[in-house]
Amino acid sequence: MNILNIAWKGIKTDFRDTRTLFFMLAFPIVLMLVLGTALSNTFTTSLRVDDIDVLYKDTTKGEYFPHFIAAAKKSGLHFKKATSSIDGEKEVKQGAYDGYVEVTAQGIQLYVNNGTSIEGNILQGMLASFVDQYNIASEIIKVAPEKLESAFTREKPADFIKETSLLPDKQPGSMDYYAIVITTMIILYGAMSASSLIVSERVRKTADRLIASPVRKSEIFIGKVLGSLVSNSICIVLVILFSKLIFKANWGDHLGLVFLVLLTEVIFAVSMGIGVSFLTKTSAGPRVFIMLFVQLASFFGGAYFKIDSPEGIFKLITELSPLTWMNKALTKIIYANDFAAAFPALSINLAGSFIFLLVAVISLQRREGL
């Protein structure tokens, strides 16, 4: 009963502290909104191409090229016939057109603007395909002209080319990504408040009163840890619900497993905060150490920007960040339904929690007070 009373007192204290509530609730939500909106273009996998304007001059009899113009118009290519007074190459250089095509009896010449390389590549590819078909048609006419029409109008096998995607179609957008990484980052910041669970009693000179009361040190320790775990867990649930309902962030179809992984990180953060508080001699020492650790873990764990395929020493440093394992596990669970990805994160969090709690328990037993 003493444990529950101490835990309940800690929960009420946390939720009465407006500074703690702002940091654990408002701060991650605002950070998600800012980063998810400002860096949305870095997560775009498609490229929009506007209509392509092409100037052309056809000195042939116009038997085949008009058919290409009609077909290309359906794909957003707009052709304009150049008059004798217009210098096509000059118009392209000045950016008035994306390309200039000259059709002669000797072949087709294409001039593109270097400033619009994407449009130029599209135009070049379509013209190359047209020329290939024209050459095939010319050879058929020479050998068997009666088979020309059937060669290009017969039904083509739909399964001639099979495409297989090596990456899943479902990928996190900017808001989806930052909903994950900001949540895991703010959980780690929970170690700062956990570091003051015992230290605050010493600073306020209430530690001796607690020891003198009919409550065992183990009950005080367990009650404070339990209260901090519940407070942090409630804040994380609220952040997840807000990001899911308001920002429409994708948390997948396995919220139970996702929250289990996040819960183990909450346990790790609280354990680390308490463990560090027993290892340092000054009251400000734990907060300084935890702030430095969390900032480095966040930076190399991809909380501020996405880290793709790190190499060498940088890869080794990113692997040392607990947030790297957390973010990888959650991403695989949400987007690949890979439940096995949860085990490395769970193992690391629980192993780290055990070590820090063991340090705290041993240190507490050696002290006369808290």
User: Please, what is the average pLDDT of the chain?
Assistant: 80
Question: Any idea how long the chain is?
Answer: 370
pLDDT number for residue 368: 64
Of residues 211, 231, 212, the one with CA closest to residue 221:
211
Question: Given a cut of 80, is residue 85 above it in pLDDT?
Answer: no
Give residue 124's pLDDT band: very low, low, confident or very high (50, 70, 90). confident
pLDDT number for residue 134: 67
Question: Given a cut of 90, is residue 53 above it in pLDDT?
Answer: no
pLDDT number for residue 370: 61
Where is 78: in which H helix or E strand?
strand 77-81
**What domains can you pick out in the chain, each with its CATH number?**
2-40+173-366 (no CATH), 52-153 (3.40.190.10)
pLDDT number for residue 167: 46
pTM of this structure? 0.67
Phi, psi for residue 79 in degrees, rounded to 5: -100, 140
**Percentage of the residues of the chain whose pLDDT score is greater than 90:** 24
> What is the average pLDDT across 54-60?
78
Question: Given a cut of 90, is residue 133 above it in pLDDT?
Answer: no
What is the DSSP code (8-state) at residue 24? I
Question: Given a cut of 80, is residue 211 above it in pLDDT?
Answer: no
Strand partners for 80: 55
HSE (side-chain half, CA atoms, 13 Å) at 299: 8
∠ CA 293-298-301, rounded to 5°: 115
Q: For the ranges 66-75, 114-123, 201-210, 229-238, which has the lowest average pLDDT?
A: 114-123
> What is the average pLDDT across 315-321?
88
4 touches 223 (CB < 8 A): yes
Q: For the ranges 60-74, 132-146, 173-187, 285-299, which has the lowest average pLDDT?
A: 132-146
Question: Given a cut of 50, is residue 166 above it in pLDDT?
Answer: no
